[in-house]
Amino acid sequence: MEIKLPIGQAKIRSTIFEVAPLSIMAISDDYLDWFYSNYIQLCSYDDFTIKDNALDIQFYGPEQAFHSPYLRKQYFSWESMVRNKVDIVDFLRIYITNGHYYYGSLDLIICRNMYVMIYSFLVLMMKKKCSIRCHIQ
């Protein structure tokens, strides 16, 4: 059995952090009035510079799309899931079966150089057989 939640085409090209919630809202055109009047507000710093014929601008406000009236969100901490012995695969299966998307991020920390990378991801489908594998060197 495969469950795949619908996803639309976001109106912008950006990082998954910006595009993931917009792609969920883009299933329907209902969000467009909010999108054009609230999300498409660009800002730049006062001391901006033009580099390679491009101006570095940002969308107004962090997590703007996550705070839209078209999405409901719930935060889960990894610590609480581990403490309560929640199986992440069962957790995702239940949520996707009930029509909920899962957006998350993983931190990759390289200790020798103290380098941290954050990987964002969106889970919108689940197959009958599912496993999560981790490889640590």
What tens digit of pLDDT does each residue of 57-108 get? Answer: 556 555 677 778 888 888 887 788 888 888 888 888 888 889 988 888 777 7
What are the structure tokens assigned to 116, written together?
């941290």
Percent of the chain with pLDDT over 70: 70
* Element holding 123 (H helix, E strand): strand 115-123
Q: What's the pLDDT at 14? A: 75
Q: How far apart are CA 87 and CA 85, in angstroms?
A: 6
Cβ count within 10 A of residue 122: 17
Q: What's the pLDDT at 135? A: 39
What are the structure tokens assigned to 134, written together?
């981790």
